[in-house]
């Protein structure tokens, strides 16, 4: 099984672990992430500005490339997943948007036909958590892990169509498949304040603390996330409360892939 | 040869100002068959009516056309005039030159010409009219009320008081419905049980009311005045006649810890139980799913202790078939499931409850004996926060788009009940809009704010987090336009209400229509609010739309009055403008029955005379009493066998020809 893959900028820099472990785990689970050529940064924030050409063209190029390849497009980063799915919806439903783009460049003619998937959706819907469970060689028994969804992975619920935005279960099911114990806590789908971590440090710190403290109160000993911004922010602001890692690292560990070696290659 | 009379009404200046009656008369006078063409300022007035009657008698008219207002206004009037003058009432046609011409046009010349065109169409049609004769159907003098809550009880009592037999069917083991679960009622704070229980007793002891609890409607056939309904009386496993309600059985039953439905699972019951102390009938039921005797055959303690010998483990469901003239649906409501509203932490925290659960907590017979307590640790809360519109007015698709109507007032009631008993408890209410129209309602809500110090915050809550010893609420205060956090000890959710799930299959059995939210639809939103579009089916209570107790009781009384009016007739005349099948053309393709909204079409053998060759064919059959003349079957019939009496294809095409 081959999927087109859009890593996004952060996975080439700050969040290399998110990327490397995913590729290794995919190999072990029998599918390939084939990086699309010449991809450009999605912007990491869904653009609301009037100039759709400047802001949404990179996403449309990636989506169209995947359509031409006849494959689904997989992302790992919460922000990329968020932006690509929303731009994909625009291309499918907004005729004016399509017309503006094609007026700029005929090669941007695209009507939203690509299936955009988060890596977790691939595991749940294409591979199946039962298969993931069967492939686990190093079950993480006894580890109490909290899923930290953050805000972007789930919302807007109708467009992401990822999970129930108010009571998601996909990462908990993932944790269960790896043999660990998921810890459900209320703040798991709240924002970490990542976008204001520079402008309003105190507010952002308060938000990270609220998440980490709620997780600890419910018995979590570590957190996993799919979002580079969450990982960075929570580690920085609340890293002393409990550790946070990428879900792909946990997956690699459970699949018996040598984490240290992978890290060294990174 | 037909003799047609034509009459133009001026409707004072309503028609005459825009339509010249002389132009209309000149336009039709020369049409073959027209023998009378007259005008009058008010055709519907006595003099106008006499003018028509005289013309019919004098000229031996075979049909009349009146160019006047909408047939919805006076068709019935002119049909009566025709009938009194010896003309079949279905030989009357109306050309609507008021709503369709004078009221919507300004140019008199063009208006007059359009009136001529409409008159010509009506004349073309009336020439093809045939006399029609309504059928007479007898009326069964017995009513069925479905649902034993306050709506059903009230409707049953009112019908029975008028002297008619009523069967009251209730699916749970006791009548009483939601009102029996309530503590106090707004805005007077009457004790709910104190005002409901006497009505329950009245209904149970009334010699004209036959109550069937633990029973469900299984099958409905027939039509207005003559329904045949089968009710399944579920096996109670206790003999109604022998049981004295002493309670020995449920005291001895060893099966505990079954969540008591009546208490929303906040208290437990036994496997043999009555739902509440004032249950009527005061006869327990055995929950066969949990009864040890039923599961393994080893127990029978209840049977051993029952002195009258009322326990009957081998009882079976009983099917009762009865005929009724009218049916009242009073199926009521339930609260929606909150699984999709994770932000309120209802599934996550014992201290987040619904308003209905609070109703049981504040009730003296409830799980805490009426004491305000947190369900997690039994601590008395220092602060309680209500959240309104949980799932109501929700267009996200998770909840209901409508206003549940009762929540603003019951929340105001709950807030006052807490403040009255525990003045030191802080009470906050999050609301979107306050909706308190109703007699003494707004005064009650204001008293809560001004005298009891209930704090209202305009805004919706985004998140509730259970921190163990308290709950944190994140919200926006829309009046101050600030994001706020609030610590509280208990959260109470005013949860949206919806019709019970059994309403939909019931509506389908009754051929009564329901709306997109599964509420029963009324025949006319304003003018026929307690009647279903299906003749003989009437509506009461929250199954028709969210409503509070006074409104429910009022509607139940109105539905009962309609039932009494129907049952007081000995026969019903059916509308003869119904579908008719030409059995020679029908090939029994079965396309028509599925489109019939009234279940009036069936199929069966009939002798068909094909050019002298008699054969028996499967053909469509119309039940004339059920057919409402909508014409859906005519449209769908591929062989042209189906036609509508009074509106035949031939008549409609003649109208079109006359117009073009």
Is CATH 3.40.50.261 correct for A134-257? no
* Overall CATH class of domain B4-126: alpha beta
Q: Do A167 and B465 touch (CB under 8 A)?
A: no
Closest CA to B648 of B576, B566, B560: B576
Laid out side by side, the sheet with A116-118 consists of: A32-35, A2-6, A73-75, A116-118
Q: Do A164 and B342 touch (CB under 8 A)?
A: yes
* Overall CATH class of domain B335-498: alpha beta
Beta bridge partners of B573: B136
- Helices marked H in B362-489: 407-421, 441-450
Instruction: Convert A209-237 to b/e letters by CB count within 10 Å (16 or more is b).
Output: ebbbbbbbbbebbbbbbbbbbbbbbbbeb
Q: Do A166 and B465 touch (CB under 8 A)?
A: no
Q: Does A219 touch chain B (CB under 8 A)?
A: no
Q: Do A164 and B463 touch (CB under 8 A)?
A: no
Q: How far is A145 from B650, CA to CA, in rounded Å?
A: 77
- What CATH number belongs to B579-644? 3.30.70.3270
Q: Which residues contact A228 (CB under 8 A, 6 or more apart)?
A: A10, A11, A14, A15, A18, A77, A78, A79
Q: Structure tokens of B200?
A: 């329950």
Q: Does B395 touch chain A (CB under 8 A)?
A: no
Q: Which residues contact B654 (CB under 8 A, 6 or more apart)?
A: B124, B125, B127, B128
∠ CA B206-B211-B215, rounded to 5°:
175
Q: Domain locations in chain A?
A: 2-119, 134-257
| pLDDT at residue B209, as a whole number | 98
Q: Does A169 touch chain B (CB under 8 A)?
A: no
Nearest to B348 among A186, A190, A217 (CB): A186
Give the nearest chain B residue to A163 (CA atoms). Answer: B340
Residue found under tokens 């009218």: B326
Question: Among A149, A156, A186, which would you mutate to test the B interface (most chain B Cβ atoms within 10 Å of its Cβ)?
Answer: A186
Q: Structure tokens of B341?
A: 């509203």
Q: How far is B439 from B462, CA to CA, in rounded Å?
A: 33
User: Cα separations (Å) of A171 from A87, B23, B133?
Assistant: 24, 81, 71
The DSSP annotation for B351-371 comes to TEEEHHHHHHHSSTTSTTTT-
What is the number of helices (H) and of strands (E) in chain A? 12, 8
Task: List CB contacts (< 8 A) between A189 and chain B.
Answer: 342
Beta bridge partners of B616: B607
| pLDDT at residue B526, as a whole number | 87
Q: How far is B74 from B99, CA to CA, in rounded Å?
A: 13
User: For A46-68, what is the mean pLDDT?
Assistant: 93
- Helices marked H in B521-580: 549-567
Assess whether pLDDT exceeds 60 at residue A146. Answer: yes
The DSSP annotation for A18-38 comes to HHHHHHHHHHHHT-EEEEPTT
User: For A183-208, what is the mean pLDDT?
Assistant: 94
pLDDT tier at A264, thresholds 50, 70, 90: very low
| pLDDT at residue A265, as a whole number | 47
Nearest to A214 among B342, B347, B465 (CB): B465
B422 touches B371 (CB < 8 A): no
Q: Which residues contact B209 (CB under 8 A, 6 or more apart)?
A: B156, B157, B160, B166, B167, B168, B203
Q: Do B341 and A166 touch (CB under 8 A)?
A: yes
Nearest to A190 among B463, B467, B468 (CB): B463
Q: Do A186 and B340 touch (CB under 8 A)?
A: no
Q: Do A186 and B464 touch (CB under 8 A)?
A: yes
Task: Identify each DSSP E strand in B47-164 by its residue range.
Answer: 63-68, 92-96, 136-138, 142-146
Q: Judge residue A142's burial from the number of C-beta atoms within 10 Å of its C-beta, 0-12 exposed, 13-18 middle, 19 or more buried.
A: exposed
Q: For all residues of chain B together, what is the average pLDDT?
A: 95
Strands A181-183, A144-148: pairing kind: parallel
- What CATH number belongs to B142-234+317-332+500-567? 3.50.50.60
Beta bridge partners of B384: B427, B490
A:B CB pairs within 8 Å: 25
What would the pLDDT profile of B91-114 be if each residue is shown by its tens digit?
A: 999 999 999 999 999 999 999 999
Task: List CB contacts (< 8 A) between B348 and chain A.
Answer: 184, 186
Q: Does A186 touch chain B (CB under 8 A)?
A: yes
Task: List CB contacts (< 8 A) between B340 and chain A.
Answer: 164, 166-167
Q: Judge residue B458's burial from the number of C-beta atoms within 10 Å of its C-beta, 0-12 exposed, 13-18 middle, 19 or more buried.
A: middle
Q: Which residues contact B607 (CB under 8 A, 6 or more apart)?
A: B614, B615, B616
B642 touches B592 (CB < 8 A): yes
Instruction: Convert B112-145 to b/e letters by CB count within 10 Å (16 or more is b).
Output: bbbbbbbbbbbbbbbbebeeeeeeebebbbbbbb
Q: What is the ipTM of this complex?
A: 0.87
Handedness of CA A206, B461, B498, B266 (dihedral sign): positive
| pLDDT at residue B374, as a whole number | 97
Is CATH 1.20.1050.140 correct for A2-119? yes
Which run of H or of E encompasses A237?
helix A228-238
Laid out side by side, the sheet with B326-329 consists of: B209-212, B165-169, B142-146, B326-329, B537-539
Higher pLDDT, B598 or A255: A255
Q: Which residues contact B30 (CB under 8 A, 6 or more apart)?
A: none
User: Cα separations (Å) of A184 from A116, A175, B126, B242?
Assistant: 27, 11, 75, 53
| pLDDT at residue B390, as a whole number | 97
Q: Phi first, then psi: what are they for B573, rounded to 5°?
A: -90, 130
Handedness of CA B347, B353, B359, B362 (dihedral sign): positive
Handedness of CA B167, B173, B175, B178 (dihedral sign): negative
User: Cα separations (Å) of B232 from B176, B214, B319?
Assistant: 20, 9, 5
Looking at the complex, report in whole angstroms how far the Cα of residue B349 sits from the nearest Cα belonging to chain A: 10
Q: Does B348 touch chain A (CB under 8 A)?
A: yes
Beta bridge partners of B226: B223
Assess whether pLDDT exceeds 70 at residue A263. Answer: no
State the span(s) of chain B assigned CATH 3.40.50.
4-126
Strands B383-390, B426-431: pairing kind: parallel
Closest CA to A203 of B345, B483, B481, B471: B483
Q: Does A214 touch chain B (CB under 8 A)?
A: yes
Question: Among A166, A207, A210, A211, which would you mutate to test the B interface (most chain B Cβ atoms within 10 Å of its Cβ)?
Answer: A166
| pLDDT at residue B328, as a whole number | 98
| pLDDT at residue A86, as a whole number | 97
∠ CA A205-A207-A209, rounded to 5°:
70
**Longest Cα separation, chain B:** 94
Closest CA to A186 of B471, B220, B33, B104: B471
State the span(s) of chain B assigned CATH 3.50.50.60.
142-234+317-332+500-567, 335-498
User: For A59-64, what is the mean pLDDT?
Assistant: 96
Q: Do A190 and B345 touch (CB under 8 A)?
A: no
∠ CA B240-B241-B244, rounded to 5°:
80
Nearest to A166 among B343, B467, B468 (CB): B343
B9 touches B38 (CB < 8 A): no
Task: List CB contacts (< 8 A) between B345 and chain A.
Answer: 186
Q: Do A186 and B465 touch (CB under 8 A)?
A: yes
Q: How far is B304 from B67, CA to CA, in rounded Å?
A: 81
* Three-state secondary structure call for residue B318: strand
Q: Do B466 and A187 touch (CB under 8 A)?
A: no
Q: Does B604 touch chain A (CB under 8 A)?
A: no
Looking at the complex, report in whole angstroms how far the Cα of residue B515 sits from the nearest Cα belonging to chain A: 25
Closest CA to A76 of A11, A13, A28, A158: A11
Run means of pLDDT, 10 residues per run, chain B, 660 residues: 94 95 96 96 96 96 96 91 96 97 95 97 96 93 98 98 98 98 96 96 97 97 92 97 96 96 96 96 96 94 96 96 98 97 96 98 95 96 98 94 98 98 98 96 98 97 95 96 96 98 96 94 90 93 98 98 97 91 93 90 90 90 87 95 95 94
Q: Do A166 and B340 touch (CB under 8 A)?
A: yes
Instruction: Output DSSP code: residue B18.
Output: T
* Three-state secondary structure call for residue B121: helix
Task: List CB contacts (< 8 A) between A217 and chain B.
Answer: 467-468
């Amino acid at each position: 099984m081959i999927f087109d893959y859009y890593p996004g900028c952060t996975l080439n820099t700050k969040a290399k672990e998110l990327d490397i472990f995913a590729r290794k785990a995919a190999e072990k689970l029998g599918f390939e992430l084939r990086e699309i050529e010449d991809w450009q940064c999605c912007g990491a924030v869904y653009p609301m500005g009037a100039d759709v050409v400047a802001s949404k063209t990179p996403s449309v190029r990636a989506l169209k490339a995947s359509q031409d390849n006849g494959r689904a497009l997989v992302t790992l980063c919460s922000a990329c997943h968020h932006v690509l799915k929303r731009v994909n919806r625009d291309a499918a439903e907004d005729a004016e948007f399509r017309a503006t783009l094609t007026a700029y460049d005929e090669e941007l003619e695209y009507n939203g036909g690509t299936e955009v998937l988060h890596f977790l959706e691939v595991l749940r819907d294409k591979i199946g958590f039962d298969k993931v469970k069967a492939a686990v060689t190093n079950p993480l028994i006894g580890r109490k892990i909290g899923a930290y969804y953050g805000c972007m992975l789930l919302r807007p619920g109708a467009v992401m169509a990822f999970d129930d935005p108010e009571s998601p279960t996909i990462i908990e099911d993932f944790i269960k498949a790896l043999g660990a114990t998921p810890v459900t806590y209320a703040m798991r789908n709240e924002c970490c304040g990542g976008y204001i971590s520079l402008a309003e440090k105190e507010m952002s710190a308060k938000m990270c603390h609220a998440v980490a403290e709620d997780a600890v109160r419910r018995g979590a000993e570590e957190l996993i996330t799919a979002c580079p911004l969450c990982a960075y922010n929570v580690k920085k602001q609340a890293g002393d409360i409990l550790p946070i890692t990428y879900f792909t690292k946990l997956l690699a560990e459970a699949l018996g892939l040598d984490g240290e070696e992978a890290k060294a290659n990174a | 040869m037909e003799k047609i009379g034509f009459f133009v009404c001026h409707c004072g200046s309503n028609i005459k100002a825009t339509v010249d009656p002389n132009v209309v008369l000149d336009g039709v006078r020369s049409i073959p068959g027209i023998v009378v063409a007259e005008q009058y300022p008010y055709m519907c007035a006595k003099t106008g009516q006499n003018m028509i009657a005289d013309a019919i008698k004098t000229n031996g008219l075979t049909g009349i056309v009146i160019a006047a207002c909408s047939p919805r206004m006076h068709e019935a009037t002119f049909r009566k005039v025709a009938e009194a003058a010896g003309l079949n009432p279905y030989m009357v046609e109306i050309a609507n030159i008021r709503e369709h011409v004078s009221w919507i046009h300004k140019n008199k010349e063009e208006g007059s010409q359009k009136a001529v065109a409409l008159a010509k169409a009506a004349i073309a049609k009336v020439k093809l009219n045939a006399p029609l004769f309504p059928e007479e159907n007898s009326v069964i003098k017995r009513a069925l009320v479905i649902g034993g809550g306050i709506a059903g009880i009230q409707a049953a009592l009112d019908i029975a008081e008028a002297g008619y037999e009523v069967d009251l069917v209730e699916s749970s083991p006791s009548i009483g419905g939601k009102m029996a679960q309530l503590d106090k009622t707004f805005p007077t704070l009457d004790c709910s049980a104190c005002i409901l229980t006497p009505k329950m007793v009245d209904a149970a002891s009334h010699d004209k009311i036959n109550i069937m609890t633990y029973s469900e409607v299984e099958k409905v056939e027939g039509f207005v005045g003559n329904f045949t309904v089968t009710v399944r009386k579920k096996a109670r496993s206790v003999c109604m006649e022998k049981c004295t309600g002493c309670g020995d059985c449920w005291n001895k039953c060893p099966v505990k810890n079954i969540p008591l439905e009546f208490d929303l699972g906040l208290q437990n019951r036994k496997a043999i139980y009555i739902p509440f102390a004032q249950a009527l009938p005061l006869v327990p039921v055995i929950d066969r799913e949990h009864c040890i005797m039923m599961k393994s055959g080893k127990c029978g303690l209840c049977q051993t202790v029952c002195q009258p010998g009322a326990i009957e483990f081998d009882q079976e469901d009983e099917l009762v078939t009865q005929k009724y003239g009218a049916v009242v649906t009073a199926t009521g409501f339930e609260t929606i499931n909150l699984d999709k509203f994770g932000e309120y932490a209802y599934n996550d925290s014992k201290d987040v409850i619904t308003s209905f659960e609070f109703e049981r907590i504040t009730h003296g017979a409830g799980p805490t004996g009426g004491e305000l307590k947190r369900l997690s640790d039994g601590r008395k809360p220092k602060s309680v926060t209500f959240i309104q519109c949980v799932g109501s007015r929700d267009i996200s698709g998770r909840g209901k788009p409508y206003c549940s109507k009762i929540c603003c007032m019951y929340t105001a009631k709950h807030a006052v009940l807490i403040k009255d008993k525990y003045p030191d408890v802080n009470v906050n209410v999050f609301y979107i809009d306050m909706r308190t129209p109703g007699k003494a309602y707004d005064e009650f809500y204001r008293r809560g704010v001004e005298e009891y110090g209930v704090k209202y915050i305009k805004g919706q809550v985004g998140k509730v987090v259970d921190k163990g010893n308290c709950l944190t609420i994140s919200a926006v205060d829309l009046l101050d336009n600030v994001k706020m956090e609030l610590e509280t000890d208990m959260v109470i959710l005013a949860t949206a209400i919806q019709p019970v799930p059994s309403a939909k299959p019931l509506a389908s059995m009754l051929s009564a229509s329901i709306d997109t939210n599964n509420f029963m639809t009324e025949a006319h939103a304003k003018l026929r609010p307690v009647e279903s579009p299906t003749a003989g089916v009437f509506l009461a209570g929250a199954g028709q739309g969210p409503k509070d107790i006074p409104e429910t009781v009022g509607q139940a009384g109105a539905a009962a009055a309609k039932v009494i009016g129907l049952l007081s007739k000995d026969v019903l005349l059916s509308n003869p403008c119904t579908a008719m099948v030409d059995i020679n053309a029908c090939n029994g393709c079965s396309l028509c029955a599925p489109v019939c909204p009234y279940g009036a079409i069936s199929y069966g053998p009939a002798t068909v005379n094909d050019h002298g060759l008699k054969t028996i064919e499967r053909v469509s059959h119309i039940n004339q009493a059920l057919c409402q003349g909508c014409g859906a079957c005519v449209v769908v019939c591929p062989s042209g066998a189906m036609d509508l009496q009074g509106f035949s294809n031939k008549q409609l095409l003649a109208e079109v020809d006359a117009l073009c």
